[in-house]
């Protein structure tokens, strides 16, 4: 009780240099984008979040903020205010006027277990200061954004897709290069690099910044990324086009490789080009899958103009399964359909991770340990990965944390 009373007396304040922009939505409740001066952190705020943000001035205590929130929105506030403050502190937007006797901040944002659990499934390592280099790259590639260049790229991509389909009908055998791991790894690395470069250059084309890039893993699969969060305040079409730029680049590259494979080349070179095309088309399909939080998901979210669609849909489904229904009527059908799809796909993905990683880990460990021990280790580690995925999925379903 004394700790809670002490917490209520703390005075949060905004960090310097933060900027608020309103997202350009054509319908629905307004959304505001909060970002710091150098583009390290971005956060979406509702009207309630904006009210709380503007009330944080270093002079009002947390208790006073709770009272003001309750008066303004006519609902009990402590839990909502504390969750919002936790997110703001964690993102670096809010500090406190004083630290405790140990020199620590008096309010700790990372006390819950969900971010730590999530980081085991999804984690990113990034480098900052990329905007200047990407601006230089965009100046070189700007001619590709002219209507004539885009028309030529689209025609080449479509012709390449037809050529690839024709190649598939003629394949009666494969050469060794089709099976060489180095060929697939090199093709994958090139596709991923150009995929992310396309996102970044498209973002620069619309006059926005890209401050970070990096690598990591997403549900135990390797990924690369560029941070295009600066596009959040933009209008719907530019946001969708920036998300689509990566898969489109893979589609074009795969098509060009398929067209090159029509040339009179040696069998090994033709096979390498076909392998490069296959990698590109697979990446297109994976990234356009709206049930993964990749490009297709963000495109769908922007087209529907429903922020945080996946979490809100799972929260709505969870509430419905518990006999409650707090979704807006106009969104109920979308949330139920998308939430059920995400749940089914998440369970299938957990099963796929279990079977895939059990085999990979077991076969790898079998090099040093007897087969029974290797298989036991494979099942144990793969099972842990699958349980983490299911835990996060059902946690969102049960807790109903659907707001940003």
* In a shared domain, residues 60 and 23: yes
Q: Phi first, then psi: give them for residue 349, nearest 5 degrees.
A: -65, -40
* In a shared domain, residues 215 and 293: yes
Q: Is residue 216 within 8 Å of residue 124, measured between CB atoms?
A: yes
Asked if residue 227 belongs to a domain, the reply is: yes
pTM: 0.81
pLDDT for 111 equals: 44
pLDDT for 288 equals: 96
Asked if residue 240 belongs to a domain, the reply is: yes
* In a shared domain, residues 106 and 145: no
CATH code, domain with 37: 3.90.930
* In a shared domain, residues 292 and 316: no
Domain hosting 38: range is 2-111
* In a shared domain, residues 216 and 356: no
Average pLDDT over residues 31-55: 83
Q: What is the token pair recorded at 131?
A: 């905007």
* In a shared domain, residues 69 and 174: no
pLDDT over 60 at 13, yes or no? yes
pLDDT over 80 at 267, yes or no? no
Of 194, 391, 393, the residue nearest 291 (C-alpha): 393
pLDDT over 60 at 26, yes or no? yes
* In a shared domain, residues 135 and 96: no
* Burial class (CB within 10 angstroms; exposed 0-12, middle 13-18, buried 19+) of 139: exposed
Work out the pLDDT band at 35, boundaries 50, 70, 90.
Answer: confident
Share of the chain above pLDDT 90, in %: 28
Share of the chain above pLDDT 70, in %: 84
> Which of 111, 137, 161 finishes a domain?
111
Distance CA 320, CA 295 (A): 28
Q: Please, what is the average pLDDT of the chain?
A: 82
pLDDT over 60 at 174, yes or no? no
pLDDT, tens digit (0-9, with 9 covering 90-100), for 117-151: 556 667 788 888 888 999 999 999 999 999 999 99
Asked if residue 374 belongs to a domain, the reply is: yes
> Which of 90, 111, 132 finishes a domain?
111
Asked if residue 393 belongs to a domain, the reply is: yes
Q: Is residue 12 within 8 Å of residue 58, measured between CB atoms?
A: yes
pLDDT for 205 equals: 96
Asked if residue 188 belongs to a domain, the reply is: yes
* In a shared domain, residues 71 and 201: no
Asked if residue 294 belongs to a domain, the reply is: yes
Q: What is the token pair recorded at 83?
A: 């969750």
Work out the pLDDT band at 176, boundaries 50, 70, 90.
Answer: very low
* In a shared domain, residues 132 and 173: yes
* In a shared domain, residues 277 and 172: yes
Q: Which residues contact 16 (CB under 8 A, 6 or more apart)?
A: 37
Distance CA 217, CA 224 (A): 8
Which stretch of 19-33, 86-100, 248-262, 291-305 has the lowest confidence by average pLDDT? 86-100
pLDDT for 53 equals: 87
pLDDT for 103 equals: 46
- HSE-up of residue 224 (Cα within 13 Å, Cβ side): 17
pLDDT, tens digit (0-9, with 9 covering 90-100), for 177-206: 455 677 888 999 999 999 999 999 999 999
Work out the pLDDT band at 173, boundaries 50, 70, 90.
Answer: very low
Alpha helices in 206-235 (DSSP H): none
pLDDT for 281 equals: 96
pLDDT, tens digit (0-9, with 9 covering 90-100), for 209-239: 998 899 887 776 788 899 999 998 888 999 9
Asked if residue 117 belongs to a domain, the reply is: no
Average pLDDT over residues 319-323: 78
* In a shared domain, residues 214 and 322: no
Q: Which residues contact 181 (CB under 8 A, 6 or more apart)?
A: none
Distance CA 378, CA 384 (A): 10
> Which of 304, 326, 345 finishes a domain?
304
pLDDT, tens digit (0-9, with 9 covering 90-100), for 52-80: 888 888 888 888 888 888 888 776 667 77
Asked if residue 116 belongs to a domain, the reply is: no
The domain total for the chain is: 3
* In a shared domain, residues 285 and 368: no
């Amino acid at each position: 009780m004394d700790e809670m009373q002490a917490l209520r007396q703390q005075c949060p304040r905004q960090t310097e240099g933060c900027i608020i922009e309103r997202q350009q939505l054509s319908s629905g409740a307004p959304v505001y984008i909060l970002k710091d001066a150098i583009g390290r952190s971005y956060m979406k705020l509702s009207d309630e979040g904006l009210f709380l943000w503007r009330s944080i001035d270093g002079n009002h205590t947390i208790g006073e903020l709770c009272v003001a929130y309750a008066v303004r929105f006519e609902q009990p506030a402590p839990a909502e205010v504390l969750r919002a403050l936790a997110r703001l502190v964690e993102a670096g937007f809010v500090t406190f006027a004083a630290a405790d006797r140990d020199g620590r901040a008096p309010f700790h944002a990372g006390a819950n277990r969900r971010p730590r659990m999530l980081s085991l499934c999804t984690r990113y390592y990034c480098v900052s200061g990329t905007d200047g280099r990407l601006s230089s790259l965009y100046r070189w590639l700007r001619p590709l954004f002219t209507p004539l260049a885009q028309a030529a790229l689209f025609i080449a991509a479509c012709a390449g897709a037809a050529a690839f389909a024709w190649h598939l009908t003629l394949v009666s055998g494969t050469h060794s290069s089709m099976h060489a791991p180095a060929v697939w790894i090199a093709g994958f690395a090139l596709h991923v690099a150009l995929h992310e470069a396309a996102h970044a250059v498209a973002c620069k084309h619309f006059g926005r910044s890209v401050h970070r890039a990096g690598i990591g893993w997403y549900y135990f699969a390797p990924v690369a990324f560029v941070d295009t969060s600066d596009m959040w305040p933009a209008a719907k079409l530019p946001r969708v086009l920036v998300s689509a730029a990566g898969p489109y680049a893979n589609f074009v590259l795969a098509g060009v490789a398929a067209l090159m494979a029509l040339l009179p080349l040696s069998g090994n070179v033709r096979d390498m080009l076909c392998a490069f095309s296959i990698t590109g088309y697979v990446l297109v399909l994976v990234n356009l899958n709206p049930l993964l939080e990749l490009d297709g998901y963000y495109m769908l979210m922007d087209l529907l103009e429903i922020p945080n669609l996946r979490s809100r849909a799972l929260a709505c489904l969870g509430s419905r399964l518990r006999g409650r229904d707090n979704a807006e009527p106009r969104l109920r059908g979308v949330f139920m359909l998308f939430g059920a799809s995400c749940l089914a796909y998440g369970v299938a993905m957990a099963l796929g991770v279990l079977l895939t990683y059990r085999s990979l880990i077991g076969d790898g460990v079998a090099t040093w340990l007897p087969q029974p021990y290797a298989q036991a280790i494979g099942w144990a580690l793969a099972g842990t990965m699958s349980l983490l995925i299911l835990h996060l999925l059902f946690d969102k379903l049960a807790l109903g944390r659907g707001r940003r």
